[in-house]
Amino acid sequence: MPGCELPQGTCPDMCPAAERAERERERRLHRLEVAPGCLRGPPRADPQRAVKEYRRPAAGKPPPPPSQLRPPSVLLATVRYLAGQVADCAGATRAEVASFVADRLRAVRLDLALQDAGDAEAAVVLEAALATLLAVVAQLGPDGARGPVDTVLLQTQVQESFGSLRRCYSQGGGPYPRQATFQGLFLLYNLGSTEALQEILQLPAPLRACPALRKALAVDSAFREGNTARLFRLLRSLPYLQSCAVQGHVGHARRLALTRLTRALSTPRGQTLPLGFIVHLLALDGLHEARDLCQAHGLPLDGEERVVFLRGRYAEEGLLPVGNCHVLVGSKLRGRTLEEVVMTEEQDEVVHRPASPTSGRCASPRGLGQSD
């Protein structure tokens, strides 16, 4: 409210004790929050696993007291827990994990918005939350449409997360060492969007000169120009989080590439290409994906190793779901956990130029939430 001073959160737990008790009574605990060994009687909340759920602020009701708001340090610890302990949970489906994590991260953003937090520390929390959400959504893979998850809602949550973070950057209260990385993630997630590109081009020149943002702009340019070879070469070179951000556009880019090949090579008798060439050109995970892609577009195969570009056979009836994207995404974890990626993702290279906090500078590496 105008003129109303925001409180500072004081809740030390990932989920306030009052909410844990309420959800226990109402049996609204998620199974990922239940204390182990609750075989008899009603489920009990595990204080080490329960995470505050999102509740839309009710109109006309007073804001929650400080005791119900988690301070930035607890919010960051909550994001770390979600990335480290929940996102890789072996006892739940990826769809269930994505739905749970997205809801709890939404609550993290709300807690942050309802209290007085510095722009720099708020940005650290929002960056970690967004990175976790991007990775969890990317890990859904081809099974994303199944299970307790609304993929459209997840996409909306990602866009809202970008909005919260970019508004934080616009306050100019930095420094924001990872701004170039996350502005680049925004462009990659919205690949081909004229509005997103215009917003990025309006950023200060020193920020646009940072390697992470330059790479994102190069990917967007190759996508717009239809330069398939350059686009997939760039996609292969992206780090893990950037690959998660752009994964939703990979299927469309492959279709466009196959369309252009068809226009160039189709003849009445049919020209052929090795499937291995298609695998390499489009960064597919193997010959099986190349066969599925070609057959889904009506292109016949000559044996098991070649695709035939026969005039009049190409069809665009439906976009195949992108597979697990091991080459373009999964392989780039390189043995790291998601928590390690989220909290210590590689930073931009140092750019030796004077820069003010509001100009958007490239920073030297440092871990999220860690001191120098």
**What does the domain layout of the chain look like in residue ranges?**
9-55+67-177, 181-225, 240-339
User: Is residue 354 scored above 60 in pLDDT?
Assistant: no
Question: pLDDT value at position 90?
Answer: 76
Is the predicted pLDDT of residue 144 greater than 80, yes or no? no
Residue 352 banded pLDDT, cuts 50, 70, 90? very low
First to last CA, the chain: 37
pLDDT of residue 146: 55
Residues 156, 157, 158: CA angle, nearest 5 degrees = 90
Amino acid at position 255, single letter: R
Does residue 289 or residue 172 have the better pLDDT? 289
Predicted local confidence at residue 6, as pLDDT: 85
Task: Give the pLDDT confidence score for residue 36 in this predicted structure.
Answer: 84
- Mean pLDDT is lowest, of 26-35, 76-85, 312-321, for 312-321
Q: Write down the pLDDT at residue 174.
A: 75
Residue 124, class by beta-carbon neighbours within 10 Å (0-12 exposed, 13-18 middle, 19+ buried)?
buried
pLDDT over 70 at 321, yes or no: no
Mean pLDDT of 197-201: 97
60 vs 168: which has the higher pLDDT: 168
Nearest 10 degrees: Cα torsion 337, 338, 344, 347: 120
Least confident span in 122-126, 163-167, 358-362: 358-362
Q: Is the model more confident about 2 or about 69?
A: 69
Q: Residues 161-185: what's their mean pLDDT?
A: 93
Q: Which pLDDT belongs to residue 274?
A: 95
Question: What gap in Å lies between CA 219 and CA 232, rounded to an integer?
Answer: 9
pLDDT of residue 206: 94
Overall pTM surpassing 0.95 (yes/no): no
Question: Which of 163, 165, 112, 158 lies closest to 138 in space, CA to CA?
Answer: 158
Mean pLDDT of the chain: 87
Q: Please report the pLDDT score of residue 37 as a whole number.
A: 76
With a cut of 90, say whether residue 15 has pLDDT above it.
yes
pLDDT band at residue 142 using 50, 70 and 90 as cut-offs: low
Q: Inform me whether the pLDDT recorded for 182 exceeds 90.
A: yes
> Among 130, 180, 122, 127, which Cα is nearest to 159's?
130
Average pLDDT over residues 45-69: 90
Buried b (16+ CB within 10 A) or exposed e, 42-78: ebbbbeebbbbbeeeeeeeeeebebebbbbbebbbbb
Q: What is the pLDDT of residue 270?
A: 84
Confidence of residue 372 (pLDDT cuts 50, 70, 90): very low
The arithmetic mean of pLDDT across residues 71-78, rounded, is 97
Q: Which of 4-8, 210-214, 285-289, 353-357 has the lowest mean pLDDT?
A: 353-357
pLDDT at 246 over 80: yes
